[in-house]
Structure 1
C-alpha cells in the first residue's frame, strides 16, 4: 500500500478525537473521508498532513514513516475549503509562490507552472488576479498550488463547499479527472455524500473518531455495514419494532401496528427489537386496485414532490406514519388523495438488531 495509517489516535486533553484508525490506500486511489461535522475526518486529514501530531500510531507514505516529520518534508500538499489565494498576486505568481519556498531554479519553476496550467486549463489566465477570476477558476488555482509541487499525496478538505451546485458538479468531474491523470492518491474530506459517491474509488465513513467501514462506494451505499451508515448514507424509510416469526418461519417487524416483512436472510429473531431501512428509491408505489396482496402496505397519497428527473411520493399510512417512495411503474398514474400500495424487494432491506448497537 502507498499510504498506510496504523492505529492512529489523537487526544486533545481528555477528549478523544480519533481512536485507533487504520487505513491502507493504493497509489492510484481516490478515497473520501465521509462523515458528519465533528466526526474526526478533518483531524485525520491534518494528522496525515503533519499539521497535528498523533497521540499514538504511525503514518507511512511509499514505505517511509512520516509520523514525526514536519509537513514540508512529507511530500504532501493540501487544498482547503477557502481558496487562500494571494489577492495581490497573479495566477502565475500564486503558483510560483510554493516553488520559491522550495528554492527551485527559475527555469524549473517556469516548467512546473506551465505543466500545472496545462492540466488545469489556466494557461490563458496566468496574468489575471484572483478578483478577475470566477469561483471555479479560483478553485482551480487553489488546486494548482497543491499540484504544482508534484506531491506524493494530495489532501482536500471540503474544497467545493463554497461553490454553487452546478459549479460543484463540474468541479467534481474535473477533480476526478486530475487524479486519474496524475496517478497519485487523493484523500478528500466531505460531509456531502453526493460528492463522495460521485468521485471516490473507496469511502471511509467516519463517526465519533472511528471508521465505521472502508469499502468501495457501491458497498457503502447499497450494503451498509452498520446502523450509522444506513442512517447517514442515502435516504431511507425506517421501521423499528419487535420481530415476529410466523408459523411458516417468515419474519416481520411489528411497526406501529403494521407488519413489515423481512427477507429470509435477516439475522434477527423473535422477540428482539430490530430496525429496518429501505432506500427511498427502492420503495415502490402503485395504485390500489383493492387487492393488495402479500408484502404490500396500503396508504393514501398525500403529495407529490418533483425533483427534476424523478418525483417523491409522500404516503400517509393508517398508523399515522408517512412513507416516501420514488419508484413507480411508467404505466401507473396516481394523484394526491388516491389510495395506493407501497412495497419493496425484501432483499433490499438493511436490518439491524436493536440489542447490539454499533
Structure 2
C-alpha cells in the first residue's frame, strides 16, 4: 500500500507541474496567473502524504494522511478551474473526479477510506457546481448524480476486487497449509513404514533397502562390511513365564543396548524378526565386528533382565552370528552375507548360546568366539 500511495502522490505532482507548464505556453497570461495560487496547494499536500508513507506509522495516521492529502489535492484541482472561470470551471471539476477515481482504483486501502475519498470528490463537485454561474441548479444536480453513479460503481468494483484478492490469498494460504500437512503426513507414514513400532529402531524393510544400497554401489567405498544376526536366548520361555508385556520390555531394552553399542551413524540395527536383530557394520573388518558383537553380548548379560525359565542363564542373554566380507569380493551379496550370519547364529545356539560365533569363509564353517 505504501509504495502505491507514494507512487500516486508523485504522479499527481508531476502531472500538476506538466499541466501548469503546458497552460503557460498555450493560454493567455491572465488565466495562468489565476491558476497559480490554487495549483500551489497540490504539491505540498501530495509531498506531505508521500513523506508519511516512507516509514511505518499507526494505521490511523496513515488514514488521516491519505484522506487529508487526497482532499487537498482534489480541492486544488477544482480551485484551478474555479479561479480561471469560463470553460476551465467545469473542465477541472471533471478532471478532479478523474483524479479521485484513479486513487480509488489504485489504492489498496480499507473500504471506509475509499468511501471517504469518493465522498470528498462528489461533495466538492456538487458544492462547486451549485455555485457555477454558467449552469442552472437542476443541471448541476443532474451532473452530480451522473458522476456519482460512476464513482459509486468504481468504489463497488474496487471493494469486490479487494474481497476477491483477500479470498484468493486465503485460499493460497489454505492450499499451502494443506500441502505442508500432506508432506508432514507422508513423512510420518514413511517413517512408520521404516520403523519398528515397538522398539523404535529400523524394521526389516528399512534394513533390506539399506543393504541393497550398499551392495549396488551407492555411498562411499569401504574396506568391507559385517553383518551381525542377534537372537534373544529362550525368548519364548520368557514370554511364557513373565508375560508378553515383560517380553516387549525385554525387546525394547535389548534394542537400546544394541543401538548404543554401534560405532557411529554408518552402522544400523533393525528388528529383523520377533526376537531377532540384524546389525550392519559399514567399513568394518573381523576384529571390529568382534569388538562390537562381544560388547552387545556382554552388555545385554550385564543388564540383568530376568528370564527365570532360561536354561542358559537366569538373566536375558543373546547369541550372535557374525559374517564379514570385503567390499571388493563380488561373489558375496547381501543375501549371502545374511545367510552366513544366520548360519553362524545357528552354530552359536548349538554351542550353548550366550556367545558370538563367526562364519569362517575359508573353511566354510562357523567358529565360536
Normalising by structure 2, report the TM-score: 0.20
Say which one has the larger Rg. 2
After TM superposition, the score normalised by the length of structure 1 is: 0.20
Relative contact order: is structure 1 or structure 2 higher (C-alpha 8 Å, sep ≥ 6)? 1
